[in-house]
Structure 1
């Protein structure tokens, strides 16, 4: 079965980026294997048109992967985090708290898209609006 491509939360175009805004860092910095755990990021799916480009970096690998020793990566923010700087020092949060923050941001982005008229109102929401 073919996996469905992720869509931008603002315009329903194919999402090519994830928001890199830092929400917090794990309560425990190291996993059971002793390796450091990455910070929690927003990860809202957006297209290039709805992302704020914050920078580009080159990652150099210590060993070759698929014949490559490095790659370029971008830092992008969604519209909910446009113009915002990540807090320093970054607070320690649990994985559940990070997921709750992601859900709040996703709901805010969907509400913004619905209010702008870019996305159609979902059928269940339209039915509920008729009740009131």
Structure 2
């Protein structure tokens, strides 16, 4: 490979590939951002919950509860059925290390403003784990 083609290959690997959106999608109307950078209709809620189900802190969150081993319900102040739910295992404070494991989040059946959370060991067994939950609406 010549020096110029090597440099060209390296340069193209550092760039994003061309947009794959159709030309009419690229120029489509969108909801304008506010001065804070978010669309005026955007809402972000969060909750930090202990392994025992206690709510430590949050925004837009009403309550949290441990339902059984590794299963929790988190209730927010707004309908979150059309939202994205993002969960991660993590301690509620700033001391210690979180045990390894897995987390699954989904809307709470029958509760429009709720999220159902399940936590597991790395082997997939239900286990109580502290977690952080974000809801993007």
TM-score between the two structures when normalised by the length of structure 1: 0.21
Bigger radius of gyration among the two? 2
Question: RCO higher in 1 or 2 (8 Å CA, sep ≥ 6)?
Answer: 1
Relative to its length, the structure with more strand (as a share) is 2
Relative to its length, the structure with more helix (as a share) is 1
